């Protein structure tokens, strides 16, 4: 059983007990524990179930590579699934639940899958559920979904705070082990601005556990000293609990800082996502130990040798009283020696190498530990826990020579450098046969725009497994990084560590070498996704020869741990099955993030009230206080209508329109785009932008214009006012303000750069209020001394007036068909004018109307709306707007496009009005059907509804539509099938339903 030892626990504050729960069970750990170490201290070996077979799973590792110990952490608004126990720091009140089990962790029904294991092989789902086809959707998928998935999705809104942070440094170093520390010192001493990040809460990486000496003193002292030194350097920033999540082009690095995971009630953000630009990136990310593939290597109690050592030294936790060590390299001997020195029993070290180990092996023997060379594990004995191992010769087929009782197995299959961050941006790898691992090819680093390397790799991550070599390498890399960013490294010598004499590792991909199918089916490669040696071999036999294909077919390395433990073992097995060397098989692609990061950290501050910017006009708060039912228009919120008590949106719109047409109403039109165009060539410029002639417009006058894209399609419309000889003000649609301004600038900067024109987007400078209705002039006259009579301020002209003491520009333009003024005042005075107009309008029973009233009234008048009648495929000619296209001009944007044959095709659908014969409202976007069917067996069509409303003015449904030969078919009826199967008939009519002669707006 696993338990807490009386001694050890380098990272613990044993004076401070911490309470937590696991599956509701109250447990105690110490400050400094990880959740994993605390669970082990409480003999909680079983922590979860595997994905496919629901096999019992225990903790395998001690860091971010852990595949099994995933838990649901927290409750309610702080619940988060799939959290690694090995990287979760223990805090008081932590609650954790295990995942993927039913009804309980100890007794799981799904484990029956395990007995069916021989049927659930690679590609099982693909093969089995493919037929009969309809069964997939209705039977197989729902059942599989029920049993699939690890953690449960949170149900409540995350209550924590998250943020981003932008940082710019010369050198960013990822990994705070001895290599990262030394590289930081070397670069920092040269004067470079350095950011060093370490994913755990502690500096030094593995070195304090693995031991050794530097400059004649123990390595942990060396770590303390170098950290103290770095802390005094102003140009070096040290951050713990911050993981290098991804490396991207142009020296961009994402740092994932877990600010408050270990103290959830502290103020401040839970996570902070650092978005870093660096001149040079150094990955000092260390290495990960590989498991060995032997039967039963997934039984709880089988653990990486380095993890066993970590738990003992860092947390004072023993995994068992009797630990068998099995290895193919010298490093695992350290575990045996450590355990033995702590008074624990190591019955045997099984060294798969026939020649055995080096100096450490001698040391182990001197301690009295039995060492068996050329031996391995035939299988692990036990179910939910290890009870022993069956020993065999590595060279054989697994004939058991001896069974040894034990309650833990410490395995080491060699070390793989963490090459992920090196690879994210294209760094290449080479296979190092001597060390049996892939390591970065330093000559093929990720390169920047000039072809220069911007990522370097240092220490163990660079394939140096010996402390002396690690420090020498890190020092050189740190100096080189500083040099690459323009600094002069100091000629200080690197710290010198005592070199060790190790026997070389031997590549062992299967134990024993000739294991039969029964053993291979129990030799796990991917613990989380339940992929075994036999599955990869089957995939190879079935032709999945590319490592990327084999990965997807078997799901090897596709779990939340992304195969940190399994990938190399898996592709070695694949290579063996394909009878090709490992480099020829290659690796799968490494992609960010290194380990999963929270979605909330990516969202950063963009949540709640500041999820996205909402643009507000100066009258926004009035709208809010007066029943506005808002709709989004771009990033603006505009009132759709204003709800009075008891009203539905439909009745409110009806009321607003009736009141407007009968008396007086206000509309907040501030969102309309307003662009100043000024210069000697402004008229010429606008003649090119608009289809009609603007240069002939007289100062003081307004003209409606259409703007087309180069391809002739209608993209915006609005009223242009000529302010003076050189200056025009172009109104655009609300959504077009920014894009039309950009469109203008693009033409001015790229094509007509020599034209003397300046533009300015002054959309937000003005609050614009439409004063609309038969009493519009009367209410304005109450507020001004200026002459705004029909003669003085005629239709389609404007005047600068003083209104209620406020300087205003009154445009006499109408989008409703009524007598109408659009009053522009400075935005800061918009609300004041709005209030005064409401006050003065009270005697006329003034109302306010929203966008829906605006839409209905313009439709009654037959005015088109960009985005309704146009959809990017419509030209002005389709809308019978030839009157707005100048015939005198040589050119305008879109002119030539509109002369293309398809654009002049007489069968293009054209704009008409529609009136339903039963008075109902046509559905949006409904199609008019035509006889017959097309090649796809669908009904032929001959028209499409572009706008459709109930007109309160006319008391019936009206619509606009694009119809084949429409204008020539007045009075004909069309059929519009509805989704409910019924058909509405509508008569083709003139699109101007109301006041065709414009008498109302012209009074």
- Interface with another protein by CB under 8 A: which residues? 161, 163-168, 193, 237, 266-269, 272, 275, 277, 604-606, 609-610, 612-618, 635-636, 676, 678-680, 756, 758-760, 762-766, 805-806, 826-829, 831-833
The strands making up 973-977's β-sheet, listed across from edge to edge, are 927-933, 939-951, 956-963, 910-916, 983-989, 973-977
Tokens coding 531: 């992929």
- How wide is the angle at C-alpha 723 spanned by C-alphas 717 and 725, nearest 5°? 110
How do strand 94-98 and strand 13-22 relate by DSSP bridges? parallel
Q: Nearest distance from residue 236's CB to another protein, in Å?
A: 12
The residues facing 456 across adjacent strands are: 282
Q: Nearest distance from residue 678's CB to another protein, in Å?
A: 5
Q: Nearest distance from residue 702's CB to another protein, in Å?
A: 19
Of residues 162 and 315, the one with the C-beta less far from another protein: 162
Q: Quick one: CA dihedral 901, 903, 906, 907, positive or negative? A: positive
Q: Respond yes or no on whether the N-terminal peptide bond of residue 103 is cis (omega within 30° of 0).
A: yes
For residues 384 and 106, what is the distance between their CA atoms, to the nearest angstrom? 9
Q: Nearest distance from residue 616's CB to another protein, in Å?
A: 6
Of residues 75 and 828, the one with the C-beta less far from another protein: 828
Q: Nearest distance from residue 169's CB to another protein, in Å?
A: 9
Q: What contacts 961, CB < 8 A, 6 or more positions away?
A: 911, 912, 913, 914, 928, 943, 944, 945, 946, 974
Q: Nearest distance from residue 276's CB to another protein, in Å?
A: 11
**Judging by beta carbons within 10 Å of its beta carbon (0-12, 13-18, 19+), is residue 999 exposed, middle or buried?**
exposed
293 and 519 in contact (C-beta within 8 Å)? no
Q: Nearest distance from residue 269's CB to another protein, in Å?
A: 5
Of residues 411 and 619, the one with the C-beta less far from another protein: 619
Of residues 262 and 956, the one with the C-beta less far from another protein: 262
473 and 482 in contact (C-beta within 8 Å)? no
Of residues 150 and 757, the one with the C-beta less far from another protein: 757
Of residues 757 and 912, the one with the C-beta less far from another protein: 757
Of residues 579 and 612, the one with the C-beta less far from another protein: 612
Q: What are the two backbone dihedrals, phi and then psi, of residue 355, each rounded to the nearest 5 degrees? A: -85, -10
Of residues 342 and 762, the one with the C-beta less far from another protein: 762
Of residues 272 and 520, the one with the C-beta less far from another protein: 272
For residues 353 and 508, what is the distance between their CA atoms, to the nearest angstrom? 9
Contacts 24+ apart (CB under 8 A), 640-649: 640/850, 640/851, 640/852, 641/849, 641/850, 641/851, 641/852, 641/853, 642/847, 642/848, 642/849, 642/850, 649/852
For residues 447 and 470, what is the distance between their CA atoms, to the nearest angstrom? 24
Of residues 617 and 847, the one with the C-beta less far from another protein: 617
Q: Nearest distance from residue 744's CB to another protein, in Å?
A: 13
The strands making up 408-412's β-sheet, listed across from edge to edge, are 302-304, 408-412, 323-327, 349-351, 371-373
Q: Nearest distance from residue 734's CB to another protein, in Å?
A: 11
Q: Nearest distance from residue 760's CB to another protein, in Å?
A: 5
Report CA dihedral (760, 763, 767, 771) to the nearest 10 degrees: 110
Q: Nearest distance from residue 615's CB to another protein, in Å?
A: 4
| Residue whose structure tokens are 């001394």 | 785
Closest CA to 777 of 821, 815, 811: 821
Q: Nearest distance from residue 832's CB to another protein, in Å?
A: 4
Of residues 184 and 510, the one with the C-beta less far from another protein: 184
Of residues 164 and 782, the one with the C-beta less far from another protein: 164
3 state SS of 257 = strand
How do strand 162-174 and strand 194-197 relate by DSSP bridges? parallel
How do strand 287-289 and strand 302-304 relate by DSSP bridges? unpaired
For residues 742 and 385, what is the distance between their CA atoms, to the nearest angstrom? 68
**DSSP 3-state percent helix, strand, coil across the chain (nearest 5):** 25, 30, 45
Of residues 120 and 167, the one with the C-beta less far from another protein: 167
Q: At what angle do helices 467-484 and 178-189 cross, to 10 degrees?
A: 40
Of residues 162 and 821, the one with the C-beta less far from another protein: 162
Of residues 281 and 288, the one with the C-beta less far from another protein: 281
Q: Nearest distance from residue 201's CB to another protein, in Å?
A: 16
Q: Which helix (H) or strand (E) holds 891?
A: none
Closest CA to 820 of 859, 858, 857, 774: 774
Of residues 609 and 890, the one with the C-beta less far from another protein: 609
Q: Nearest distance from residue 854's CB to another protein, in Å?
A: 19
Q: Nearest distance from residue 700's CB to another protein, in Å?
A: 19
HSE at residue 14, side-chain half, CA atoms within 13 A, is 12
547 and 571 in contact (C-beta within 8 Å)? yes
Q: Nearest distance from residue 690's CB to another protein, in Å?
A: 20
3 state SS of 910 = strand
Closest CA to 673 of 621, 723, 743, 626: 743
């Amino acid at each position: 059983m696993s338990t807490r030892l009386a001694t050890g626990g380098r990272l613990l504050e044993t004076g401070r007990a911490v309470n937590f729960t696991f599956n509701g069970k109250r447990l105690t750990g110490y400050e400094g524990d990880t959740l994993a170490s605390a669970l082990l201290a409480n003999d909680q070996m079983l922590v979860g179930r595997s994905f496919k077979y629901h096999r019992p799973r225990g903790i395998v590792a001690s860091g971010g590579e852990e595949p099994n110990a995933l838990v649901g952490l927290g409750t309610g608004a702080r619940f988060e699934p799939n959290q690694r126990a090995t990287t979760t720091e223990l805090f008081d009140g932590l609650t954790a639940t295990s995942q993927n089990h039913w009804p309980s962790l100890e007794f799981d029904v799904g484990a029956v899958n395990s007995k069916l294991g021989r049927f659930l092989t690679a590609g099982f789902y693909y093969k089995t559920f493919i037929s009969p086809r309809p069964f997939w959707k209705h039977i197989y998928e729902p059942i599989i979904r029920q049993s699939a998935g690890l953690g449960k999705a949170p149900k409540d809104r995350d209550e924590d705070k998250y943020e981003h942070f932008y940082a710019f440094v010369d050198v960013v170093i990822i990994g705070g082990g001895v290599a990262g520390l030394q590289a930081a010192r070397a670069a920092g001493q040269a004067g470079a601005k350095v950011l060093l990040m370490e994913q755990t809460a502690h500096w030094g990486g593995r070195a304090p556990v693995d031991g050794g000496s530097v400059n004649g003193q123990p390595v942990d002292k060396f770590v303390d000293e170098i950290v103290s030194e770095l802390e005094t350097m102003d140009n070096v920033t040290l951050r713990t609990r911050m993981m290098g999540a991804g490396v991207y082009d142009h020296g961009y690095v994402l740092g994932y800082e877990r600010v408050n995971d270990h103290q959830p009630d502290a103020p401040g953000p839970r996570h902070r996502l650092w978005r870093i630009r660096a001149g040079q990136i150094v990955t000092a990310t260390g290495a990960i130990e590989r498991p060995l593939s032997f039967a039963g290597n997934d039984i709880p109690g089988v653990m990486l040798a380095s993890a066993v050592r970590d738990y003992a030294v860092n947390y004072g936790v023993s995994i068992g009283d009797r630990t068998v060590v099995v290895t193919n390299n010298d490093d695992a001997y350290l575990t045996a020696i450590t355990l033995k020195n702590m008074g624990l029993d190591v019955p045997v070290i099984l060294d798969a190498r026939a020649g055995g180990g080096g100096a450490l092996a001698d040391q182990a023997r001197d301690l009295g530990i039995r060492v068996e060379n050329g031996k391995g594990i035939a299988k692990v004995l036990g179910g939910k826990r290890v009870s022993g191992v069956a020993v065999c010769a590595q060279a054989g087929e697994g004939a058991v020579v001896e069974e040894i009782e034990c309650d833990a197995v410490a395995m080491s299959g060699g070390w793989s450098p963490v090459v992920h961050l090196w690879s994210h941006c294209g760094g290449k790898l080479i296979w190092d046969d001597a060390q049996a691992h892939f390591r970065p090819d330093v000559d093929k680093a990720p390169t920047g725009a000039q072809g220069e390397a911007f990522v370097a790799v240092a220490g163990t991550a660079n394939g140096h497994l010996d402390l002396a070599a690690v420090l020498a390498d890190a020092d050189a890399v740190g100096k080189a990084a500083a040099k690459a960013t323009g600094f002069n490294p100091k000629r200080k010598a690197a710290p010198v560590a005592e070199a060790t004499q190790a026997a070389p590792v031997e590549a062992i991909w299967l134990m024993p070498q000739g294991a039969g199918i029964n053993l291979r089916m129990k030799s796990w490669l991917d613990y989380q996704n339940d992929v075994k040696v036999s599955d990869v071999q089957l995939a190879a036999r079935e032709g999945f020869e590319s490592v990327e294909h084999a990965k997807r077919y078997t799901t090897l390395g596709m779990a939340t741990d992304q195969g940190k433990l399994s990938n190399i073992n898996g592709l070695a097995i694949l290579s063996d099955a394909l009878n090709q060397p490992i480099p020829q098989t290659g690796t799968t692609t490494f992609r960010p993030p290194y380990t999963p990061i929270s979605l909330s950290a990516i969202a950063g501050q963009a949540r709640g009230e500041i999820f996205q910017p909402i643009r507000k006009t100066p009258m926004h708060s009035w709208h809010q206080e007066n029943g506005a039912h808002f709709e989004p228009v771009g990033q603006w919120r505009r009132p759709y209508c204003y709800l009075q008590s008891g009203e539905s949106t439909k009745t409110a719109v009806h009321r607003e329109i009736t009141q407007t047409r009968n008396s007086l109403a206000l509309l907040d039109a501030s969102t309309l785009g307003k662009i100043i165009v000024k210069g000697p060539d402004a008229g010429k410029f606008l003649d090119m932008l608009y289809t009609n002639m603007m240069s002939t417009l007289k100062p003081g006058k307004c003209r409606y214009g259409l703007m087309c894209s180069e391809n002739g399609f209608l993209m915006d419309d609005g009223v242009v006012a000529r302010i003076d000889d050189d200056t025009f003000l172009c109104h655009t649609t609300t959504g077009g303000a920014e894009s039309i301004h950009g469109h203008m600038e693009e033409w001015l900067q790229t094509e007509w750069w020599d034209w003397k024109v300046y533009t300015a987007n002054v959309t937000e400078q003005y609050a614009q209020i439409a004063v609309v209705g038969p009493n519009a002039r009367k209410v304005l006259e109450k507020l001004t001394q200026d002459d705004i009579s029909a003669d003085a301020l005629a239709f389609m002209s404007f005047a600068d007036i003083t209104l209620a003491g406020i300087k205003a520009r009154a445009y006499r333009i109408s989008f409703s068909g009524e007598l109408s003024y659009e009053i522009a005042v400075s935005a800061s005075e918009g609300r004041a004018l709005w209030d005064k107009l409401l006050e003065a309008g009270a005697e006329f029973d003034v109302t306010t109307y929203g966008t829906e009233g605006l839409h209905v009234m313009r439709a009654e008048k037959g005015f088109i709306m960009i985005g309704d009648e146009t959809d990017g495929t419509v030209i002005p000619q389709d809308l019978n707007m030839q009157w707005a296209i100048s015939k005198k001009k040589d050119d305008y944007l879109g002119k030539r496009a509109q002369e293309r044959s398809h654009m002049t095709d007489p069968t293009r659908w054209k704009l008409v009005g529609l009136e339903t014969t039963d008075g109902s409202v046509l559905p949006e976007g409904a199609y008019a059907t035509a006889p017959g069917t097309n090649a796809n067996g669908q009904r032929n069509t001959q028209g499409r509804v572009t706008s459709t409303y109930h007109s309160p003015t006319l008391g019936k449904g009206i619509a606009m539509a694009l119809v084949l030969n429409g204008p020539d078919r007045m009075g004909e009826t069309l059929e519009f099938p509805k989704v409910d199967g019924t058909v509405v008939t509508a008569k083709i009519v003139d699109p101007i339903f109301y006041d065709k002669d414009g008498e109302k707006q012209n009074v």
